[in-house]
A and B are shown apart, each in its own frame.
Chain A
Amino acid sequence: MSTTVKRRTVFSFLGPSVAALVIVGIIPLGYALWRSFYDFNLTRLARTKFVGFDNYLEVLTNDAFWGAMGRTALLFFVSVPIQLVIGLTIALVLHRPGMTLLKTFTRLALVLPMATTYAVVGLLAQVMMNQKYGVINQILGWIGIEPINFIGDPTNAFIGVVFWDIWQWTPFVALVLLAGLSTVPPEIEEAATLETKSHWTILRYVQLPFLIPSLVAVLILRTADTLKLFDMPFTMTRGGPGNATEFIAVLIERIGNRQFDIGLASAHSIIMLIVTIILARLYIHLFYKEIR
């Protein structure tokens, strides 16, 4: 239900929000777009000059950018499938009737990782994954695995990031899929359990169709959040050792904040922004039909 009102009234309700988001969201982007065409480094401001598309060329021909994009993609393709499998398992277990109290408690426990300050997750990783003093290596030792140098070795550091990404976001995936499962009409589920004893058949033919929206939401949001991922790898390893955990957002931070090359960082940002807008459009197109 909507009503047509005077333009002035609409403006008085929406104007302040629009103004605020233009100031904090659009003006900085405009500035980044402008600076992305300049050689603009904070350590040599006097030599700032217009360079056209040079920064973009440098981004697209630079190993650092493609390396970071590759690592970001690798993280996504390693950790998201694991999150989906474990998350779906958790959701299916929680969806079954019975053990209400324990299940309520589990749902609350699942809320904790995804609300945890991302920077603190990186600190936890530092403390718990230390080669000598880390409890994770102690626990691995109980099952006969030699201590692993999670922070200092490139491959292991990447595995460490994957582990904590799984720890933090599997609960999110589980709760989203659980919400999806609750949209399956109980009558249909019950009818199916009379037909077959196979959980797999029920999942594939009865529950999966209802899970599609949740799965799509998870995939798009995890893509956007993996592209954004900064806090946890930054506090855990600063992108190192070498550049083993330098994901795209960590790379841009290094170029802007540690190399002071704002022009180049801006070019990276604009490219990121284009990817982001495509993702957002896709998400909105799929989920917000009712607004039209």
Chain B
Amino acid sequence: MARPVSYQDRNRWGELIVLVLICLFCIFPFYWMVTTSLKTQVVALQDPPVWLFTPTLQNYIHVLFEEKVGVSLINSLIVAVCTTGLAVGLGCPAAYALARFEFRGKTDLWFWFITNRFVSPVVLAFPVFIIAREIGLRDTHLALILMYLTFTLPIVIWICTDQFRAIPYDLDEAALLEGASQWRIFRSICLPLAMPGVAVSAILSFIFSWNELLFAYILAPRDAKTAPAMAVTFMEGYDVPYGNIMATSTLIVIPVLIFALLASKHLVRGLTMGAVK
């Protein structure tokens, strides 16, 4: 697109420097996290900090095999995958109904779904802690999987409702004339066409579940402990093992960063629940 010259040529160098600074600002903590994870405790505790050193994988070996970080990563994976699957399984039909059907109370229902996005986990954590204890769900994957629906389900419902609305209605009408049921239209026509939206909502659900700390910390103190909750416990005590903490952090962060980059175009929409397209 042709733009006026004055708009283009000014401050090119300034612009370049600003862009490089933004990138450095965003990326430097990750650089420091990864390099610290490759330092021995002695190197990590040098004053002033060193930038050049001989890397070692001993922190990773230690946290994966001697600490329970490996188990906690598997717990995180189980919880994130199950809650994502459940949210997509429950949310897609609901989104289809919100996009396609006319019924009483639809607006209120929509409001209520979206409001869950705003509720702080700390509001729900203690009642759920007591209830889970009463019904024997304390420290189980299931408790976390169910609680994570409070934020994954609204995301799936919002993104998929939007996606279903974008599908032309003619296809449904043709199928209705053929005598297909709504479930059949949903499964055979609309769901395949809505797959891009479903995939984005699944990625976002996975990221949010994987990152969650508060429910995990309160509801799953031992057996079902997830990776973020495990990383927190490292900070307790005097001799803080920097290398181990950063190795654990790196292991936690890498999967979400990959998913976030995959869904980068849709991350803002997901985080604003579609207010910004």
Partners in one complex: yes
Chain B interface main SS type: helix
Point out the residues of chain A lying under 8 angstroms from B182, CB to CB: 5, 9, 13
Nearest CB in chain B: distance from A214 CB, A: 6
Output the nearest chain B residue to A256 by Cβ-Cβ distance. Answer: B126
Number of A-B residue pairs having CB atoms within 8 Å of each other in the complex: 326
Given contacts A133-B242, A273-B119, A277-B115, whether A124 and B29 have CB atoms under 8 Å apart is yes
Provide the bound-state CA to CA distance between A287 and B272, in Å.
10
Q: Are B23 and A138 in contact (CB under 8 A)?
A: no
Q: Are B101 and A2 in contact (CB under 8 A)?
A: yes
Q: Are B29 and A167 in contact (CB under 8 A)?
A: yes
Nearest CB in chain B: distance from A216 CB, A: 8
Q: A265 at the A/B interface (Cβ < 8 Å)?
A: yes
Provide the bound-state CA to CA distance between A17 and B157, in Å.
9
Given contacts A103-B19, A117-B211, A134-B49, whether A123 and B122 have CB atoms under 8 Å apart is no
Provide the bound-state CA to CA distance between A161 and B151, in Å.
25
Please count how many residues in chain B sit with their CB below 8 Å of the partner chain's CB atoms: 113
Q: 1/0 contact trace for A257-292 toward B, CB 8 Å?
A: 100001001100110110011011101101110011
Highest count of chain B CB atoms <10 Å: which of A5, A123, A234? A123
Would you list the 8 A-B pairs with minimal beta carbon distance, nearest first?
A115-B260, A13-B97, A17-B94, A28-B127, A287-B275, A280-B118, A31-B127, A119-B228
Query: Which residues from chain B sit less than 8 Å from chain A, CB to CB?
Result: 1, 3-4, 6-8, 12, 15-16, 18-20, 22-23, 25-27, 29-30, 32-33, 36, 44-49, 86, 90-91, 93-94, 96-103, 106-107, 109-131, 146-147, 149-150, 153, 157, 169, 172, 181-183, 186, 207, 210-211, 213-214, 217-218, 228-229, 231-232, 234-235, 240, 242, 245-246, 249, 252-253, 256-257, 259-261, 264, 267-268, 271-277
With A230-B121, A272-B123, A291-B110 already in contact, 20 other A-B pairs whose C-beta atoms are closer than 8 Å:
A1-B169, A2-B100, A9-B101, A12-B183, A13-B97, A18-B94, A20-B149, A21-B153, A24-B150, A109-B26, A120-B252, A123-B245, A126-B240, A127-B242, A176-B268, A193-B3, A221-B272, A249-B122, A262-B126, A272-B122
Listed A/B pairs (8) with beta-carbon separation below 8 Å? A21-B113, A115-B260, A124-B29, A179-B268, A235-B213, A235-B235, A277-B115, A280-B117
